[in-house]
Every structure is written in structure tokens, then in C-alpha cells.
Chain A
Amino acid sequence: MNILTLLVVIPALTILGLIFTKGYKQARVLSAIGMGLQFVATLYLVYMYFQARGAGNTDAFLFDQNLVWYKSLNIHYHVAIDGIGVLMILLTSVVTFAGVFASWEVKDLTKEFFIFLIMLAMGVFGFFIAQDLFTMFVFYEIAVIPMYVLIGIWGTGPKEYSAMKLTLMLMGGSALLLVALLGIYFNSETATGLHTFDMQELSKMHFPFAFQKFFFPFAFVGFGVLGALFPFHTWSPDGHASAPTAVSMLHAGVLMKLGSYGAFRVAMYLMPEGAVYFANFFLVLTGFSVIYGAFVAVRKTDLKFINAYSSVSHVGLILFALMMFTKTAFTGAILQMISHGLMTAMFFGLIGMIYGRTHTREIYKMGGLMKILPVISATYVIAGLASLGLPGLSGFVAEMNIFVGAWENPNLLNRVFSVIAISAIVVTAVYILRVVGVLLMGPLKNPEHANLPKVKWFERVVIILLMGSIVGMGTMPLWITDTIRDSLIPIMEKFVH
């Protein structure tokens, strides 16, 4: 079987198996086995990819599988992958595997929880490998809809409100996207006279400027809603704050990347002139969300809200980098997707661990956790340092590329917004260090917290998986940047003027 199709089949089989499990123990063990296999398959994919590249295979896309689905409409099940996709799959696999362990102690309707969680992951895997826009759209919606049930049943706080808001906003985004996809389809022409959804064929066509001008906003905003594009980001803080730990990890870690990845690979890649035309408009919006997210995070006292707004800021930085149209900035954007995915998953995982013990997320109700929970607290500090861009950790690599790339664009407006965005790093430092100071350092505020249980083995797995990836990416960034830069070559051709 094609290795990429395998990445969709393994989750699907795991879901099927889960239906027949009894009790929470069976369910979580089966999920761990399933996602473990998925992780192994991903590592094998990475190995195969570099093997093929090392052997001198210079095709843009590898592991191609193209099956006809709806013949008369020319809809295919078409999967293939390039270097960027391989990295996104790797990220998804790490976060999903960690997510299973982060939800090890879900005891209420465990089977259903894992079914929906893995369905979400399946949608994400499918999205990253899809080359046919229809297939991609199907996987996109499969990834979004389980969120409603996951937040609704297992969430906390105003979960019904958050779940509904998140689902409707994301579905509204996909509604815009649908219009753009249909526009692309009916304006495409192939040799056989049929229209096509195939991205590889579409990328060879040149759409008229008037067309791009009309449909680019639909596609970009459609994906941008999921990528927390200001002012369509409001689902994200509510949703992430209400969601259970693993769901926040997966959603902020990988699902939001679907938005920025799609905005890049579909909207900008297929309609480059439209992208350039609207660049300034979206530059202002994304630049604003970078600084806005950071400032709101400073004022929040709920750990999840702090991290959710920090996500708005960091994810905004991805879309911001995309509006720079330089190769370095694009590389930075992809790096930021991976880096933010790992960091935010780590944060949400740690917050889940802290909340599971103290039953509060208000930072001013806790304090001095460093003495009681040394492992979790130390990890929190490291993740925080990665988030504010300390060299040696993943955040630095990404932000460095983004800001250098941004400066390569000589446009005055871009310069101005680069300065604004860079200054957001300082604000990031404020809210990260504030949490570290209030929550982790200082004297113990709440005497009830003196005897909190130690970190458990499955929590260690989460920490090792994610922290290892963050440090690995920070210390050995070159193989990642090289992979990205190679894969960017065909994309950059679209933006050379």
C-alpha cells in the first residue's frame, strides 16, 4: 500500500477497533498502539523521503498515488508529498502521539473521546497529503467537525458556547473556501477539456488577473479563519480555553496549521497575482494580530487564555511572514508552523497537567510550583524560553528566518510592520516571564498545593516527545531548513517578477 494512504488507513482502522473496545483501559491502550504505529509509519516516511532525495530524485512530489473517484466530474483521490508536507506530517504525528498520552486519564466516555480525537487527527493527516482540492476539502471538514463533540462533552467552563462558536466560525470559513474551490475548478482547463481539482495540474495554469482578484480573498480568508486571521480569530481563545488538554494540543498544535498551510499552498500558490494584489491589506491585518495577541496575553490571568492569545500572536506571525514574498520569510513561516505547533502543544499539555492537580488555571491562585512540581515547571520555563525566541530552541530558528526574510522586502509598509511585529517579541517576553514569576517562582501561595502528586510516566512521555522535538529543532535546524528551501523552489517561481 502507498505509504501516504497508510497514514489515513491506520487512524481509520484504529477508530474501527475502538468501537469494539470495552472500558477505558482497552480504549486508551488501543489508541496508544494505533498512534504509535502511525508514529512509526511517519518516521519510515521521513526515512524514505530522505532516501529518495539522497538517491537524486528531484521530483517536486513523491509517493504519488492517483485514483479516480468521480469520473465524470474529474474528482480524484490524489495524494503525494513534498518536503514541507513531510515535516507537517511529522509534526502532526508527534503531537497526536503525545496527545493520546496527555489524555491517559480521561475516564468519562473514554472510547468516544479517542474515536473523535483520532478522527480529528485522521482529517489532519489526510489534509496534508491531499493533492486534489476536493479530497483536501473532505479531510479539512473531517478534521473540524469532531471538535464540536470533543469540546462539548469533555470541555470545561462555558463549553457549549465555545464549541458552537468554534464550529460555526470554522464552518463559515470553509464556506468561503468552498466558493473559491468551485471558482478555481470551473476556471481550470485541462487537455481533455474537463475541469480539474488537481493541484499539480492547476499550478501549471495561469488564471487571469480578474479571476485571481475575485477569488483570492475567498480562499485566503477561508483558510485564514482556521489560521486565526484577525478579526476572525475570536473562536480560538474561547475554544482552546474550553477544550480538554489533548484537544487543545491537537487543535492549536496542528489544526490551526491547516489554515496557514492551506492559505499558502492553495490560495497563494494557485493565485499568486491575487496574493500580491491583496498583500498590503492582509499585511496590516496579520501584523495587527501579532501585536494584538501579545498585548491581550499580557492582561489575561487564566493560563489557557494566555496561551491561546499567545497562539493568536504566533500564528499571526506565520500569515505575516507569508505576506513578505521572500524565500527566507516563507521558510520562516513553515518553520514557525512546526515550532509553534510543538511549543503550543507543550504548553497546553503542561497546563493540563497543572490543572489536573490544582483544579485552577488562575495564575494568581497558585505560586511556587517549581518546588512542588520541578519537572513540569522546568519544562514550562524551557517552553516559555522557546516561545520568546531563545537561541538553541525551535522558536529562535523560526523567528529569525521570518524577520530576516521580512527585512528583505524593501517595501516601506512591510518595513513598518516588520518593526511592529519584531517589537511583539518584547511583549512575548513580558507575558511569559510574568507567568514564570507568578506561577513557578516565589513562595507557595496555596498550602493545599504542598502535596501535589509527582509527575506520572505518561506525562513524562508527553514531555519527552515534545521537548525533544523542540530542542532537536533548535539545535539542528539545518536539515529542516534545507528540506523546506528545496521544496520552496517551484513555489518561488510563482513570485518572481
Chain B
Amino acid sequence: MDLSNFFSIMRGEIVLAAIILILLLAEIATKDKKKIVDLAIGLFLIHTIFGFFGVGEGVLFGGMFKASPIVNLFKNILNVGVLIILFQSASWVKGKLEEHNRVSEFYILLFASLLGMYYMISAGDFLMFYIGIEMASLPVAGLAAFDIYQKRSAEAALKYIFLAAITSGISLLGISFLYSASGTIFFDELKPFMTNDSLITLGFLFFLVGLLFKISIVPFHLWTADVYEGAPIGVTSYLSVISKGAAAFILIIILFTMAKPIMELWREVIYMLSILTMFIGNIFALRQKNMKRFLAFSSIAQAGFIILGMLSGTQLGMSAVVFFIATYIFSNLGAFGVVYAIANQSGKENMDDYNGFYRTNPLLSVLMMLALFSLAGIPPVAGFFGKFFLFMSAASAGYYWLILFAVINVTISLYYYLLVVRAMFVRQNDNPIPAFKSDVYMKIGLILPAIGIFVLGLYSPIYEHINELVGMFLK
């Protein structure tokens, strides 16, 4: 193995591992632990910026680990999302420091989980994939329980870890079926074996369960609302965008390359699950009063849209899904950021508490409105373009009835997104959340999604870039 090649291809992973080690050492070395927050954010900011430049492509460990421009793009998208979460959660973490003197764990666990996602989306075989997915879930359980004195937080962690263990067990069973039928675990070597053979079919469907759980597709969504509500907000936003995005990335890679020969099979599954997920996510979101639960169900519905884009199996489909996930990350983080800022200042998380919010905090309200409109898919914000391209990809394969279901769901979702807009803009409140100023980290953490929400859709070269990379990947 060529060592310089190794450093070039795995640069992102190595740097992230190094950051984790530095943070561990810093915990020992420094007394003023607030500095660790700045250090972690600073290091990750540098890591994110360098991720955009000159990461190599190639194959390592005999095909276990693959890096290509599109995979690097996935990692960059995830990095930007994590960076926004870091900015948004900074003041909360500092608060935890006063409470029970814990800081670096938060960052170490978060980065370890992200490292697992790197491995997962770079995987070239099921072994690497499984290491990645496990490494991505275990630290999240620790993160979910970060509020150690809160019962709900611990409950969320337990629920997550149990269900994640069960589904990844089912996934592993599926992988073993695939191995027994083909004798290989490498994606490329498996491709010729992918037929309608019953063992292969069963194995593949079992394997999908693990990923569908992560993307919270119905019927594997039941953990979502409880875990999202119980976990600290930073962790919730991490689960809802980063974890979901990474799982969707590897799902689309596997569906579009390895499982391409059995497209007719997974198409039917995805088709049904997409309709189910959209409807159930939306219907449950209608009545939610707690903002975190509300965003949890809305994110289930969004997951239904994500997999809808995969149906076409073409370059258009993959570009649309990747682009949609990018817009979704920015929109959802914008919404979560506002919820976070409010919860930090006033501890309020219910929709009724937001009544009259515009009159005291106009900027936050406008950002929230834009983020929700983007989630709903209203122009000129990015979410509209994301959804439109998803529908285009489904239409290119002739799924007009499915699109009709989907656009009905867009209308339903608009209803509950407008409920929040109504609370903030229309409703009056005798005792509104008072005007407040967030710290500088939070401000950056809110400005970044706001920029993303505007730029991603209107500035077309971003989509064209994604489309180009996808074209190279699928060739």
C-alpha cells in the first residue's frame, strides 16, 4: 500500500480522528474548559474548509474503502451540517460545563459518530459498512443521554440504542444471507449475483432495514418522535439531518450501483414505503404541540420525499436526492436553530409559547418562517427547488400518481408549517417570549443556514456541480 496515497484518500478520516485525540489531550491539559468549546469549533471549521480542497480518490484495503468526488461531496455536506450544529450548540455546551463539568465528551462523541458515517458512506463492502453504521450509532446514544439528570434524556438514549441494535442485527442477518448466496461481501462483486433469487431478495430486504431505520422510514420510524423529544436539541438536529443524510447517501449509492440489477424489486418496496412515510409523518405532525416532536414528524415526512427521488434510478434521480438532502440540511437546521435559541433563552419548547414572537424577535421569526417555507417547498427558498427536482426525477420514470400523492402531502405539510408561522406572526400574546440577543456562535449558526436557504436554489451552479459529480460516479 502506497502511504502517500493512503494519506490522500483517507485525509478526512485521519484529520477527524486527530481532532478527537487533540480534544482528549486538551481535556487533560487545560484548566479553563470553556476553551475546549472554542478549540473544537475552530478545529472542525478548519477541517470543513480543507475538506473542499484536494481530497484524493481511489480505493484502499483491497476495495473496502472507496473515495470518489461524489463521496467527498457527501462528506463535505455532512461537515457543513455538523459545523452549523456546533455553532448552534456552543452556548448550551458551555452551560453544561457549569452544571456538571463535562465538555469534551460532547465533541468526542459527536466526531466519533461522524467518523463512523464517513466510513459508512465510503464503504466498498459490507464489513466496512457495518463498522461504519455501528460506529455512527453507538456514540449517538451517549449524546442522547447527555442531559444526565433528565429522565427523558436517558429514556431517549435507551430507546435509540435498543432499536438501533435490533435493526442493525436484522441488517447483519441480511448481509449474511447475501454472503451465503454469493460468497462475497464486496459491493462490486455482489452485483452480478443480484437476481430475483429468493435468498438474495430476502437478504437484501433485511439489509435495507438497518438503513431505513436510520432514515426513519415508516414502519421503522417509531423511535423518532420519542428520541427527538428526549434528546438535547443539538443531538436531535444531528439525528434529524446528519444521521439521516448519511444513511440516505449510502442507501442511494447501494441502490444505484450494487442493487441496480434488481431495480424492479426495490422500486416496489420504496414506492410503497414512500407513500406510507409521507402520509403517516404528515398526519402525526398535524397535532403536535411540542416543537421538537413537531419537527420529528415533519422530518419523517421529509424522509418519504427523499426516497421518492430514488425511484427513477437515473442520474437525474441521484442528483435530485443529493441536492434535496443538502437543502433539507440547511432548512431543518435553520428551524432547529431557532428552536434552540429560544429554548436556551427561555426554556420554552411549545408552539403556543411562540405566540406573538415576531413582535419581540423579528429576525428569528423571519428565519424560522423561511426555514419552514423551505421545508414545505415554497419558492424562492431552496426547499422548493429540492422538491421540484425530486418530483421531476419521479416524473421522468412516469410515476405521476405517486407525484400526485406527494403534492397532496406537500399541501398537508404546508398546513402544519403555517401553524408555526401563525403562532409567531398572527397570534397575539400577553406574555410573549421577551426580546433577547444570542451569543456570537449562535448568530453564526443561524446565519449559515439562512444563506444556504437562499443561495442553494437560486444559484444554479451548485446543482450543476452535484449533477456533474453524480454523472461521473454513475458512469
Contact surface of A with B, Cβ cutoff 8 Å: 69-73, 75, 134, 137-138, 141-142, 145, 148-149, 152-153, 159-160, 163-164, 167-168, 171-172, 175-176, 178-179, 182-183, 185-186
CB of B379 within 8 A of CB of A183, answer no
Residue of A nearest to B389 (CB): A73
Cα–Cα distance between A422 and B408 once the two chains are bound (Å): 37
Cα–Cα distance between A171 and B407 once the two chains are bound (Å): 9
Secondary structure of the A contact surface, majority rule: helix
Q: Does B463 contact A (CB under 8 A)?
A: yes
Q: How far is the CB of B392 from chain A (nearest CB, A)?
A: 6
Q: How far is the CB of B166 from chain A (nearest CB, A)?
A: 38
Which residues of A have CB within 8 Å of B380?
138, 142
Which residues of A have CB within 8 Å of B464?
70-72
Counting contact residues on chain B (CB < 8 A from A), the size range is 20 to 34
Once A70-B463, A179-B404 are accepted as A-B contacts, the answer to whether A171 and B410 lie under 8 Å apart by CB is yes
CB of A72 within 8 A of CB of B467, answer yes
Cα–Cα distance between A217 and B331 once the two chains are bound (Å): 33
Which residues of B have CB within 8 Å of A145?
373, 378
Cα–Cα distance between A160 and B380 once the two chains are bound (Å): 24
Once A142-B379, A149-B421 are accepted as A-B contacts, the answer to whether A168 and B415 lie under 8 Å apart by CB is yes
Q: How far is the CB of B89 from chain A (nearest CB, A)?
A: 30
Residue of A nearest to B407 (CB): A175
- 21 sampled A-B residue pairs with Cβ under 8 A: A70-B464, A73-B316, A75-B460, A153-B425, A153-B426, A159-B426, A163-B422, A164-B418, A167-B414, A167-B418, A171-B414, A175-B410, A178-B391, A178-B407, A179-B400, A179-B407, A182-B392, A182-B395, A183-B395, A183-B400, A185-B395
Closest 8 CB pairs of A and B: A175-B407, A182-B395, A152-B426, A138-B379, A172-B411, A70-B460, A72-B467, A141-B379
Q: Mark B385-396, 1 if CB is under 8 A from A, else 0.
A: 000110110011
Which residues of B have CB within 8 Å of A70?
460, 463-464
Q: How far is the CB of B192 from chain A (nearest CB, A)?
A: 31
Residues in B354-395 with C-beta less than 8 Å from chain A:
373, 378-380, 384, 388-389, 391-392, 395
CB of A168 within 8 A of CB of B411, answer yes
Cα–Cα distance between A54 and B404 once the two chains are bound (Å): 47
Residue of A nearest to B410 (CB): A175
Q: Does B138 contact A (CB under 8 A)?
A: no
Once A72-B467, A183-B395 are accepted as A-B contacts, the answer to whether A160 and B403 lie under 8 Å apart by CB is no
Cα–Cα distance between A294 and B198 once the two chains are bound (Å): 65
Cα–Cα distance between A176 and B410 once the two chains are bound (Å): 11
Contact partner, A71, options B379, B404, B460, Cβ 8 Å: B460
Which residues of B have CB within 8 Å of A134?
388
Residue of B nearest to A214 (CB): B400
Which residues of B have CB within 8 Å of A179?
400, 403-404, 407
CB of A149 within 8 A of CB of B425, answer yes
Q: How far is the CB of B366 from chain A (nearest CB, A)?
A: 9
Which residues of A have CB within 8 Å of B421?
148-149, 152
CB of B378 within 8 A of CB of A141, answer yes
Cα–Cα distance between A226 and B457 once the two chains are bound (Å): 26
Q: Mark B427-450, 1 if CB is under 8 A from A, else 0.
A: 000000000000000000000000
Residues in B174-233 with C-beta less than 8 Å from chain A:
none
Residue of B nearest to A69 (CB): B460
Q: Mark B263-283, 1 if CB is under 8 A from A, else 0.
A: 000000000000000000000
Which residues of A have CB within 8 Å of B392?
73, 182, 185
Q: How far is the CB of A124 from chain B (nearest CB, A)?
A: 14
CB of A148 within 8 A of CB of B418, answer yes
Which residues of A have CB within 8 Å of B389?
73
Q: How far is the CB of B280 from chain A (nearest CB, A)?
A: 19
Which residues of B have CB within 8 Å of A171?
410-411, 414
Cα–Cα distance between A392 and B467 once the two chains are bound (Å): 59
Which residues of A have CB within 8 Å of B410?
171, 175
Cα–Cα distance between A70 and B410 once the two chains are bound (Å): 23
